[in-house]
Structures are given as structure tokens and as C-alpha cells.
Amino acid sequence: MINKQLFFLIIFYCFLSFKMDAQLIFPKSSVQLFSENEIRFFLKNTQKELESPHVDLQLKYKKKSKMAIHYLFELSYQKYPIFNSSIKINLDNQGRVLSIKKENTHTDELHKINFQNEIIAFQKLKIQDIIGEKFPIKSMNFKIDNSSDSPQLIYEVNSWSSTHDLTFIINTSGEILKHWDQCRYNKIDTIIQAHVFSPDPLTAQQLTYGMPYIDGADSNLSWFAPAYFQVPILATYDNQTNEFLLENQWVQITDFDAPNIAPVTKATPDFFFNRSQSGFEDVNVLYHITTFHQYISSIGYDSLLYEGIRADTHGMGGFADNSMFNRNGGFPLLDFGLGGVDDAEDADVIIHEYAHGLSWSANANENYSFERSALDEGVGDYFATSYSRAINPFRWEHLYSWDGNNEFWQGRIANTALNYPDGATIYSKGEIWNAAMSNIYTDLGQIVCDKLMLESLYFFTNQTTFPEAALYVLQADTLLFNGQHTNVICNRFAEKNIVDANCKPTSVLPTPNYSDEVQVKNTYGFLIKNEKIEIHFPHLSSGFLNIVDMNGVGLFKQYFQNETTLFLSNLNLQRGVYILQIQYNGKLKNVKIVK
């Protein structure tokens, strides 16, 4: 039996090629915070990286999931943001700290940067020429790159359109140090009636690809007839043009990419097309995204992608056997290719790409690492598997049963024999995550497993690893179900080597023991309301308290003997920053306090 209480551990990830460290902290003692100011104060007084007066926190977002609240802060030094540096703090709905994730937060070498000289060097560069006219600059910001022992000022340049979403990192010499393609690839309300595939023509008839059950160059062969399902779909009626439009609050079918096939509209609400007609892909995408979003809304996650998404069902240049999710500067898009089997005919492809959007909506992620990208692919594959499996479990282990598993491409599987950290590509590595989650689905069912995955998405950061994501799933189980599925979840992740037999993440350093630490509480109340500072010792303690100003001048001293709790008040301090020195049982703890 594994203890269902939240784990207390710190995970360090150090990469050899770059100084990109990460630290995940699950506090053992309960800390409650009720506002952004309290969170800032808590972080400033507990995280060593924030001690310098030159280091500050900028709130990037606050997101509310069903059971928790998530704050992501970006670090800055002398008002310059530190590239890919963040602290994410996750609280339950009562304000209790669940976990803290720090990424790339080291600041000890930043004083070496000569900001004035580097800004002058940047002013001489022609950035648009460096990245090329093909990628018009949409935003450009100075940031600090601290990924080596020689930190430097850089330009972060972003370019996006309906067909690309790129981030460039450029140094003072005009070199493109790194670049990322942030697109996620994969291979008046009214009701209309339409024909769709659900989830695809093969699964619906319990068939596998091969003669005579083939694509046939997009023709409407006779074997497709039993696979068409008539369904109602929420759409829109335009009383100015007297047309029914394929759009609703969650998705709009539109045309923004070649081959420029406009979405169908009709004067009547019957959208009965076959797969040889462009309108079929239009209604198929509208139906599956609408159905999936209505489902996740019904289980408590209606805020994900609440802004809606635009989808081009005949895009990617017309011939690419590929599809993608594009953040598009905060106006997200789905682009479906026509190569091989039309991607928009397969619900697995549709839901996979839409799941990239859910992940982005939950955590505003940038996939800056191989493993983080693989995790996003695994999440997309899991939701595609879950969605189709619930409709029809026939060969559910084979993803993209219609779009793949044929002469065009091999598709992917939900029962890979690979174990973490295997996987040479982000797709094969993503299969490991899907396999673990799909096994949990087998044990717990769709709704429980989908809730666990959706809730944990809010905890993800730019460099989240598989072991960290597994811990977030466990934490989601604690929040949603009081930890009643801990054993099942741990066993399934252990089978794929994402956690070990004791449900500890693989490759984790020994857990520091903070059980003998003195606790200083209510420093925020002391600052705002002149309330008492509370000092709690782990056991009977003797020693003295000392308060000094930032010049080291002593202002207050108090001895104590055999105490477990002390209260400080009426200190008569002027406005400013002070150090509270606590000498107890031969130990010393310094705490910064502000008045």
C-alpha cells in the first residue's frame, strides 16, 4: 500500500549542454496564500534566487482549473526578462500550496552582462534581414540568456501567421542561436443535420485497411455507405444572409490556407455530404470538436479553449499528409492536410490536434525541450485514443486507424513496448505517455482518467518531464478524488518506468529532510497589518532572536529557553527591510522581514 498523502520531494534536472536547471518542490507543511501579493511575498522570502533587489517577478498568467489555481511568474533582472525562466506555484481552492516548479532561475552570473554595450550592438542589426522576409516580425523583446556561464542579452523575435508560428533567439553578433517552430503537428445558435464518420469508417464497421477498404483517391466507394452517421450539430444561422454557417462558440470552419476551399454554407439545415465533397470534412471537424468540447465541459473543464478555435479542413498547402495546431499569437488555428487520406476524415487526428490547443489553453506552454514536446504529443495521442475508444473500442490500441495504418503512413499505437526514457522521436516517446494513461483508462474508465489528465495539464510548464507529469496526475487524483486511485496510477506509471516501484520519479536525487527547520509565519501580516510574527520550532528549543538592519546594526535581541512557539510584536521598527536572526540549539536561520 502506498501512502496517499502528497509526496514531499525536490527534483533537480541538470542538462550537460546548457545550464537549464529545473526544480520541482512539493511542500510537506501547509502554507496558505490568498492573493498575488501574498504569493509574491512568500516566493521572495523563501526562494534564494529572488533575494537580490535586481531580481523581480512578473505575472505571466493566473489560471483556474476545476480544483486548483495556478500562477506563473517570469523572472527579470534589472527589468530585463530572463528567457525561459519561470516560477510556477499551484494552489488548491483553499489557497494551500500544492507545488512549486522553478525553471532556469539561476541569477548569480547576471552581473557580468554589460547591458549598455550589448544594446548598442543590437541597434546595429537588421533583424528582419536576419530571419528573412518570409517571416514578418510580430514582436521583438530584449531578454537575458542565462543558459551558460557567460550570460548575455538576446533578442527574442516572434513571427506568426496562419501558416507558421516561430520563435528566434538572436545574439549581438546577429547569430540565430536557437529557433522553435511552435506549431503542433500530427501527421444565432441553431442545429443542423449532417453525415459524419464516427470515429472513422473502418472502426465503425470493425474493419482494417486493405482492399477493398481503401481510400480510393478520395472517392465515395460503396463500402463507405454504412459508415455515414446522421448527427445533429450546433451551428449558426445568419439572418442577414439567410444562411446556415458551420461555426459555434467552440469552433469556426474557415479558410486561411491553400488550396483555399471556402467552407460550405447552405440555405437549409441539411448538410448531407459524402467524402468526395469538401463539405464532408467541414461538418466532420465541426461535429467532433463540438462533441468533445461539450464532453469536457460536462466534466468541469469548460474554460479550456473558451475563446474558440478556427479550423481549415482543407489546408497545409493541399498535399501535405499532416495537420497542425497553431497558437497564432493567441488566436489559435487548426490546419488539416489533404495528403493521403484527408486528415479531417479521422476523429483521431481532429482530437489530437485539438488536444494541443487544450494543453496550450491550460498552461500557455512553449515546447522548448524534446521531452516537453514528446509529452504534448503523448497528451494529444491519449485524448485521441480516449475519445475514439469510448465511441467504439475496436482496435483502440491503433491510433489514426483511417488516416494511418496504411500505405500513406504507419499511424501510432497506444500500447507501445517502449519504456521511459526510450523514444528516439517526440512521437515514439509520446507513445509511452499514452500507453501509461491508456492503461489507467482501462482500470478507472474514461471520465476519471480524462479528468486526471485535464486537471494535471494546468500544472505543466515549459520543461515538464514525464516523471513530473506523473506526479501532477497523482496530485490531480488527490484534489479530485482524495487520492483513492493512487495505487492504480503508481502501478501503471511504474510499468512504463516513469516512476519507480515506490512511486518515486525515476532519476531523482535523495529528498532533503527539512523536519528540523524552524518555521517563521505571518511576516505578510506583520508587513500589512502590524500583526505578530510567529516562530515555530520543531521541538523544545533554546537560544536567542536578533533583528538587524541591512547595515548589520542590531536593533532588537531576545533570549528564550525551552520554547516551541514565540511571537514578536511591538518592535517599533521604521519602514524598511530587516534580517531576523534565529539562533537555536546550535543552529542559525536568517529570515528577511519587511516593515
Confidence of residue 511 (pLDDT cuts 50, 70, 90): very low
pLDDT digits (tens, 9 = 90+) for 53-102: 999 999 999 999 999 999 999 999 999 999 989 999 999 999 999 999 99
Mean pLDDT of 242-250: 94
Fold of 111-181: Nuclear Transport Factor 2; Chain: A, (3.10.450)
Among 140-144, 342-346, 363-367, name the one with the lowest average pLDDT: 363-367
- Tell me, what's the pLDDT at 30? 78
Fold of 188-496: Elastase; domain 1 (3.10.170)
pLDDT digits (tens, 9 = 90+) for 108-131: 889 899 999 998 988 889 999 888
Alpha carbons 343 and 322: distance in angstroms, whole number: 7
Question: How far is C-alpha 428 from the geometric centre of its chain's CA atoms?
Answer: 20
Mean pLDDT of 168-175: 88
Strand extents, DSSP E, 407-515: 412-413
- Tell me, what's the pLDDT at 4? 29
Of residues 146 and 525, which shows the higher confidence score? 146
For 544-561, the three-class secondary structure string (H helix, E strand, C coil) is EEEEEECCCCEEEEEEEE
Q: Which residues contact 133 (CB under 8 A, 6 or more apart)?
A: none
Of residues 560 and 20, which shows the higher confidence score? 560
* Count of beta carbons in the 10 Å neighbourhood of residue 257: 23
Alpha carbons 414 and 437: distance in angstroms, whole number: 9
Confidence of residue 492 (pLDDT cuts 50, 70, 90): very high
Question: Same fold for the domain at 36-107 and the one at 111-181?
Answer: yes
Fold of 519-594: Immunoglobulin-like (2.60.40)
Average pLDDT value over all residues in the chain = 87
Mean pLDDT of 550-559: 79
Question: How far is C-alpha 67 from the geometric centre of its chain's CA atoms?
Answer: 16
Sole residue written with cell 448531407: 272
User: Which range has the top average pLDDT, 431-445, 521-535, 563-577, 580-594?
Assistant: 431-445
- Tell me, what's the pLDDT at 12? 35
Alpha carbons 144 and 154: distance in angstroms, whole number: 6
Please provide the CATH number assigned to the domain covering 36-107: 3.10.450.490
Strand extents, DSSP E, 329-380: 333-336
Alpha carbons 86 and 359: distance in angstroms, whole number: 18
Alpha carbons 246 and 271: distance in angstroms, whole number: 10
Mean pLDDT of 177-196: 80
In the predicted structure, residue 14 carries a pLDDT above the cut 60 = no
Confidence of residue 586 (pLDDT cuts 50, 70, 90): low
Q: Which of 79, 145, 77, 86 minimizes the C-alpha distance to 111?
A: 77
Sign of the dihedral through C-alpha 292, 293, 298, 303: positive
* Count of beta carbons in the 10 Å neighbourhood of residue 418: 16
- Tell me, what's the pLDDT at 234? 95
Confidence of residue 327 (pLDDT cuts 50, 70, 90): confident
- Tell me, what's the pLDDT at 550? 62
Alpha carbons 2 and 490: distance in angstroms, whole number: 9
Among 95-104, 232-241, 301-310, 510-519, name the one with the lowest average pLDDT: 510-519
Q: Which of 229, 220, 227 minimizes the C-alpha distance to 193?
A: 229
Alpha carbons 267 and 265: distance in angstroms, whole number: 7
Percentage of the residues of the chain whose pLDDT score is greater than 70: 92
In the predicted structure, residue 16 carries a pLDDT above the cut 70 = no
pTM listed for this prediction: 0.72
DSSP class of residue 110 equals: G
Confidence of residue 299 (pLDDT cuts 50, 70, 90): very high
In the predicted structure, residue 19 carries a pLDDT above the cut 80 = no
In the predicted structure, residue 18 carries a pLDDT above the cut 70 = no
- Tell me, what's the pLDDT at 514? 35
Of residues 518 and 234, which shows the higher confidence score? 234
- Tell me, what's the pLDDT at 551? 66
Residue 229 in contact with residue 196, Cβ under 8 Å? yes
- Tell me, what's the pLDDT at 185? 59
Among 115-129, 214-228, 387-401, 532-546, name the one with the lowest average pLDDT: 532-546
Mean pLDDT of 192-214: 96
- Tell me, what's the pLDDT at 409? 81
Confidence of residue 527 (pLDDT cuts 50, 70, 90): low
Of residues 584 and 158, which shows the higher confidence score? 158
Q: Which residues pair with 191 in a beta bridge?
A: 234
Percentage of the residues of the chain whose pLDDT score is greater than 90: 58
Of residues 589 and 459, which shows the higher confidence score? 459
Q: Which of 151, 167, 171 minimizes the C-alpha distance to 159?
A: 167
pLDDT digits (tens, 9 = 90+) for 530-542: 788 889 887 788 8
**Residue 520 host element (H or E):** strand 519-521
Tell me the domain boundaries of the chain: 36-107, 111-181, 188-496, 519-594
